[in-house]
Chains A and B, each alone.
Chain A
């Protein structure tokens, strides 16, 4: 038997004028690294890195479930609300969690929609962060599917969503982790994946902001998997080119959920990314 070092707690923050009870996990000490999960999933995507003693020896990894996801509840009144994530609400949520947890200029590591919002924060609110690791992140991805497929009364949105995103998992991924990754999508609440995809596939406001990101102050490192059909290496490269000073790494054997689908394959890329992020003095104080 072994008990993992990850601990989980809850914090209530206010977003869009209403209280949100947020579940967060953390492991390690030292530099804070805030980790954002993908659409339709939750904090469990980060568990392998949070259980990595070498990484957590000098990095405090914190991950939280977005409202509606994982163990974070939707806000009161959700039963009559259509969940549609927006850039503004997403930004407000991330900043509220940083404030509530008292994090001093964390590194922000986000995957997929988490990577998208990381780049939005790099453009709009860099003063709260020391650097950005944007994984499977690009400027904009229009949907090649109908997002309404994933919320309808005659079918299971979670099972359909998992079957769809399985297209983005590398055949090099260990089977157990492929299915653990898909399980989170299968568990996703009704309409949640659709609401996340609304943000991811309809809001193109980042495109015009990329050139204004100051990587001299807050570095941006983009990581992309060759098996990612949603954010392809070409999409990530285009995005990196649009950000002066941004760096890019392509992972030949990984897909859209690298930290979850193939933790061993992703680890060196994440370690490299962390090494590119400056250690700010505030973390010592």
Chain B
């Protein structure tokens, strides 16, 4: 799973529009996958660190808690209904969002598109 997040990290470097959208975003986000913790630390829109937990010392701004199967389905080129958005995961009971939700909402487009960078590329699909 950590490979997925380092893939997001490297793809973000190649997405100048996302770096621009996230230029004011400097926070640590916890992604918890079936109890395994992954801390993504952003500085001015860049992911400067992907660290695997557990950690009781790492403060985070908000957290997305889900499971590996749900994330893999989220990362399909054309996800099924409910798996197509982080709020969809919440709606169908496969995800939970905790912490400073307003911080997430203020940076919602940025965060959703960054997380979606691990999405499969489908030939012929715009």
Contacts and interface: CB of A to CB of B under 8 A. Distances in A.
B61 to A, nearest CB: 15
A215 B85 CA distance: 36
B108 A171 contact: no
How many of chain B's residues touch chain A, expressed as a range? 20 to 34
Contacts of A229: 82, 85, 87-88, 91
Given A171-B79, A175-B126, A163 B105 contact: yes
Contact of A227 (B84, B102, B105): B84
Contact of B85 (A146, A149, A166): A166
A170 B101 CA distance: 24
B20 interface: no
A224 to B, nearest CB: 11
B81 A149 contact: no
A174 B78 CA distance: 12
Interface of B is mostly: helix
Contacts of B105: 145, 149, 155, 160, 163-164
The 8 A-B residue pairs with the shortest CB-CB distance in the complex, in nearest-first order:
A163-B108, A167-B85, A163-B109, A175-B126, A167-B87, A226-B81, A171-B78, A155-B106
Interface of A: 144-146, 149, 155, 159-160, 162-164, 166-167, 170-172, 174-176, 226-227, 229, 232
23 contacts: A144-B87, A146-B101, A149-B102, A155-B105, A155-B106, A159-B109, A160-B108, A163-B109, A164-B105, A166-B109, A166-B112, A167-B84, A171-B77, A171-B79, A171-B84, A172-B78, A175-B126, A176-B126, A227-B84, A229-B82, A229-B85, A229-B87, A232-B91
